[in-house]
Structure 1
Amino acid sequence: MSKYIGCWFGLKEAAEENGEMRIAHAFEAVNDKQAKAKAALLFMEAFPDGDDSQFEFRMYAGAEGVPCPEEEWDEAFLFDHEWDDELGHPIAKVQTSPVDFTNLQPSLRAAVLVKYHTTKISKQQLAGAIELQQDDSSTFDCHIYAAISKMPSILAMYPERVLEAIDHVRENCVPTKKWPEIKASLAAWLKGHEEDRKDGSIDTIKTDEPKPSVIVVPRPYKHTYDTLDVEIASALLGGDVDPNSPQPSETRRANGIIKEDREDFKRWSIQLRSQDNILKYDRPTIFGVVRNVPASDTYQFPDSHKRYITEYLTTHGKMENKDDETKQNTASSTGVLAHESPASNTVAPQHSDDVSITGTVETAPPVEENGPFYFLMADGEKIGRANKRPGLEKALADGGTEISQEEYQARKNGTYKAPQETTEKPAAQPEVKKIADGVFSIENLMGEQPKAAAAVEPSAPSNEVEKTEVAAAQPAAVDFQSIAAALENDLAAKGDKMKIWRSVMRTDPRYTKDLAGAGFEGTSINAEYMVMRATEIFGPIGTGWGFEVLEDRMLPGAPMSEAIYEDKKFIGNRILRDGDGTLITELNHSIKIAFWYVNDNGVAERFESFGATKYMYKSKHGIICDGEAQKKSLTDAIKKALSLLGFSADVWLGLYDQAEYKQENAIEFDIRNASDKAEDVTRIRKELDEKFKTNIDSMRAAVTPNEISGVASSLTRVMGVHLKAAREKADLEYAKYLEGRLRRIEEVKSECLAKLQEKAA
């Protein structure tokens, strides 16, 4: 009997629904053929509800020195190892080291600082900085980088000073400024900086806050810079966070801030990491230094921010270890912090006068914590499983909800029953809170009510966090539909004078026809559709709007002629004349109407419009006489009159000639026209999911950065239209799901760009 190891790798399709799964199992068999059959049987016995078609099966023979799973059905082994096609078995993953910022070229260092505002980056992030270097677009970041790259004096500065220059630009220059203006602003900053250095002027921050002192609970995990980041993010959540009472929900929110790479978190992390012995301070000290900052925007001023942190740690800082605290207090009298390692863990005394650090929040869980974990996706129907905590946190960031193993199995088997409603509100439901008279907030929904959000009191930190998260996601929706959104915003800024125009300018693509290939260029609009839209706005024809024919006549055109042949050979043309010798000409029908409509004040507004149609003309088939010329001219005049009011203005303005606008407009009207029937909604969402998967695969198969960016940009616009529609319909669950999909697009884009960069290197 020989030892074999079966490996089941979950396919991409299954990973989208249930999370990525990889299972390894060691067993004994006589030969390869029996091993494959036995592996299939063992899988069916262990996972009777599993579908082996959702896995890619690989197998290898065990040998000395070849990695082998330790557990019977190991769900972590294949995540810690990667398959080597040449060797035919998994090998341990090589831990990649972070990018050494000091070894980068000065221009690339500047790009990193502009894009990420930190020197701690990974290879994946480095690809984004390189992309910023090569970007020719007119974004604000591109212009900041261009200005700095043209100033050697700034490029030669220390990273902290370059960050000050970047902060100066962001504070003093509007986002529409170009690089020459930014360069001028930086030149003024350099001049002022030199004068301040000569004068020796420096500002100080006084901290009169009482020294926070609570019962110190030793950290139940190994404290690293990663766990420090979680503590910083938890402190930024608000005053209800208790560093000594960890709650999983608070940790997830803190990890969300880290993943979002929020500006205030990044700057706090950079400054605290630069402090001596920062990992030796207890958790209340870390929370206190973040919360007791004199002004909420202090982090935007690096020098002042650093001085405040240093002074706070010297005055109020407590070491987690009492021996370290003694050394810290002794050294602080001489202005030097101790560097010795902690010797023991001791709890600090309790002080009853502490009121600055209270509430409920969690600290980071042990890094080594493994699953499996189970979750419900944002749509409230699909379920998933994650083998490690990062997989769970990723699902939760995409809008999912953690569930128990029992609920997971029940939903999977179709036996799950939702709990009956009781008088008490279930914990999973959003809580409605009264903020002020007539103003209420709903957890996770504050972003949908910007006016109400302005009324949030400073004493409501939990609502403040929800508001911040949504606010970070809102601006992206504006960029998704750049052309149409820009036009609508311009019209909205012009007030009520453009009221009719705004309401009728968009055209349903179902009622248009592309004229390309018919001898014309452009788009034709169905006349009956425009009449229908006029009836929607003004009311029935004859009551809310109408027309009066002022002129109806035929206009002579070019002289008519006929071909002359001799022995079947064309020899010329002859002008046609009537019996009295007058020229026979083409005839064009023209009509003039007085169009009227009733405005909101009940007053009839009138203006004139013309329409025209060829009546008698010559074609390659001979002379043609159109018997419906009058009807066509009248239709043309009505369409022209309605176009003057803004009906279907997107066609007349040429937006339909742009593929990007046509695609976005078609998606938006498809969503609008879908009924409330389940099959219509399901069809649209299924098509979107299929498009998402197809484009993700295209990005991973792309061979150039431009190709990856192009696919990502197109998919982002499509997702943005659906997200906008979901928010308008208050479909919050689906909106949350789409926001998660948008974040996933950016993650895949960064991964693909990083892989291309590694190949190029």
Structure 2
Amino acid sequence: MTEQNLFILYAIPSEKIAAENGARKITLLYAAANIRQARAMAPLKFLEQYPDADDADFELVVYEDAPGLPRGALNVWDEEILSGYNWNEEARRPEPRAAQPIEFEKLSSIMKIAVLVKYMTTKITSDMLPAALELTLDEASSFPGHIVEAISKTPTVASMYPERIIEAIKYVVDKCPSTKKWPEIKAQLANWQNSLKDTPRTPVEDNAQTATNSVPQLKPGSGDPERFDLIVAFLVAGVNPEKAGAADVKNAKFIKESRDAAWRAWRTTLVGIPGIYEFPESELYALTLDGMKDLKLIKDTEGRLAYVRNHFAGHALLPDYPAVNSEESNDNTQADEQSADQPQETPETITERQGPFYYRTPDGDVGRANKLPKLEAVITQGCEEITREQYMELKNQPSRDDVSRQLAAQRGEYVEGISDPNDPKWVKSEVKQPEVKNLGCGVFSVDGLMSEQPKQEEPSQGVTSPSIDTAPPPVVPVTTQPTVDFQSVGASLEKDLSEKPAEALDNLKLWRTVMRTDPRFTKDITGTGFDGTSVNAEYMIMRATELFGPLGSGWGFEIQEDKLIPGAPMSEPVFNDKQIVGHRFLRDADGTLITEQHHSMRIRLWYETEDRDGSVISYGATPYMYKTKHGVKCDGEAPKKSLTDAIKKALSMLGFSADVWLGLYDKPEYVAEVGVEFGIKTASEKAEDTTRLRTELDEKMTRVAGTIESAVTANEAKKVFDTLAREIEIHRKSAEATGDGEHAKYLSGRLRRLNQIKDERIKALNEQEHSA
């Protein structure tokens, strides 16, 4: 009998079949006489196990069993063992998959807790996640699983930073037997929190010698810039980072996220120290404690640098930040002595800032303070200190009255000093403005203020003092609302367009044809964050069909892109005793954020005219899946809405309903103007339709009269008459309702005549029947 050897078969799916059906890499260990026989047996064994699979979609590779090659049990197909291996296409063999580092902060909150319970560290790799995930699934009933559940149900602990959660885990493991469940563990977590509150927060002594002796026992810094930013927030709040509680962490995060002025100032100074990220947090707290209490250092950059240099330079844990040497110290001493002889050059900014100072009130006004106490007093009242450049800029800005005058001029009102008095649209008053004249010796003329003024054909020749203004008063335009021509807005727009060059007019031919919008097909938009006017999409399509022809022949569109775009991350509220204490982002099982989805569509709209063809690229967008106050909403009609939006936007680029996009519909006088214009057009079209209908009805009555006269039976004559009589009666009632009595009388006469024709024909038919 031939000796049998062991061979390993690897079935590797193609990328296409793996993406479509989720096919996985599989392996089989089996016996064969030699490698040639093993390779011949491979397709048979594969099809025997997977008869519905196509072996062309799999790459079958056979190796003789050797150490280092992954394999399962003999004659058993294994679908799991290769999940931890990558397939090397060049070497055509499996390679162990290198563990990828995982960013701890990107994990979901429950996964963070599970990782901390399982490994007591935040530095993990991808191969460590499955074991941690088991604590929330199959191992949830174990003691570590109950710890995870207890912490997740205690938001004050779950929101702490990882190092503090690890302390809580160690406390629970030390205090609770392994048989305890999550309610008892949660009670121990409450005891741990109470013990933190009872622990006094005594500051570390600011003594260089003590700090030096305690260096070997200090916990080094994390080295993480983001963690250092949070530490600076603790320092600004006066909290020792190593003794911070959940409330302290929340306050520190608020200080960091709000970019507090003190936080920005101290962070900018401290990050300039080499090696500060690895500096012990408790030591950093001790050395900056006095500086944080001096609020003047927040805005005194030089004083803050001097403080940091004095307390941190030469520290044993900061070898790259040496102290000032003796030569520099002597030079500084000599410079100080020389400056002492010259008091006028002594800098005062280190001890007390010198004015003037500038500030801005909550109402937006600006002010100036020459002394520091006055500045501090106004700041306590809610004012904000600003620089001299900001003060000059705000001071030179136009006043509110000037801004109001400019806005009134832009709205079309006449404003003296801004509007052009020679503009023909302004109505000039021929009545002189009433004025008070100084007649001298304390006597004033008040005739101009009387309701009735005496008429004077010649100016007064009385004696006047030299101070009297003898020049005739100028013609002053009326400052009240001008009497604007009713069609001034539309006429002005048409005038501006007609005055353009011939080439521009040719380019604007299509624009001018479709720019005006019938108010019947518009709708005001309010309550959506802005106010505006919406144009009916079907109306714009009707206008395009009217100009270019039916959709698909004279104009049309092509969809070039149709996709979903991720939006803002979704979140859910975090409750503590039925109260919302915050929000957390929703994540998938792999830790990725769940975001809103927005549908986007890009189209190419094409059109054909007599002299040219063209196309326009346009986009349409609609929220597809988003969060509302009633929960997550999914819009199943998002593609249809995006297509409508894209068509409207493309047509608006060609000038359709341009008066809406130009903002003319925000002016009531323009809306009234186009309302009258389109009302006249509608009435004209309605009149034409009425004339056409009446002509058709007359022709029909003539034809029916002939039909009745030629009817062969009495029943035929009666039915033909009854059908037309109902139609005539409808038209007669409509004419009476609209006040057209003449037409109603005309229809009544025609109806009576038809009734006579019917009766005569029926009588004639009856006589013929009796005579027969």
TM-score, structure 2 length as denominator? Answer: 0.27
Of structures 1 and 2, the one with the larger relative CO (CA 8 A, separation 6+) is 1
Compare CA radii of gyration and give the structure with the larger one.
2
